[in-house]
Amino acid sequence: MESRRFSSSLSLLAALTVLCLCMGVRSQLSTNFYAESCPNVFKVVRGEVADALKKEARMAASLLRLHFHDCFVNGCDGSVLLDGSDGEKFAFPNRNSVRGFDVVDSIKTAVENECSETVSCADILAIAARDAVVLSGGPSWKVPLGRRDGLVANQTGANTNLPAPFHSINTIKNKFAAVGLDITDVVALSGGHTIGRARCLAFRSRLLSFSPTSSADPSLDSTMASELQSLCPQDDDGSTAAALDRSSVNAFDNHYFSNLLNQRGLLSSDQGLFSSDEGVATTKDLVEAYSKDAGLFFKDFANSMIKMGNISPLTGSAGEIRKNCRVVN
207 phi and psi angles, rounded to 5 deg: -105, -25
Three state DSSP letters for the chain: CHHHHHHHHHHHHHHHHHHHHHHHHHHHCECCCCCCCCCCHHHHHHHHHHHHHHHCCCHHHHHHHHHHHHHCCCCCCCHHHCCCCCCHHHCCCCCCCCCCHHHHHHHHHHHHHHCCCCCCHHHHHHHHHHHHHHHCCCCCCCCCECCEECCCCCHHHHHHHCCCCCCCHHHHHHHHHHCCCCHHHHHHHHHHHHCCEEEHHHCHHHCCCCECCECCCCCCCHHHHHHHHHHCCCCCCCCCEEECCCCCCCCCCCHHHHHHHCCCCCCHHHHHHHHCHHHHHHCHHHHHHHHHCHHHHHHHHHHHHHHHHCCCCECCCCCECCCECCECC
Active site residue 69: yes
Residues 6+ apart with CB under 8 A from 113: none
Q: Could you tell me which of 247, 249, 250 has the C-alpha nearest to residue 261?
A: 247
Q: How many angstroms separate the Cα of 216 from the Cα of each of 65, 87, 235?
A: 28, 35, 17
Which residue is catalytic, options 69, 167, 193, 255?
69
Give the active site residues. 69
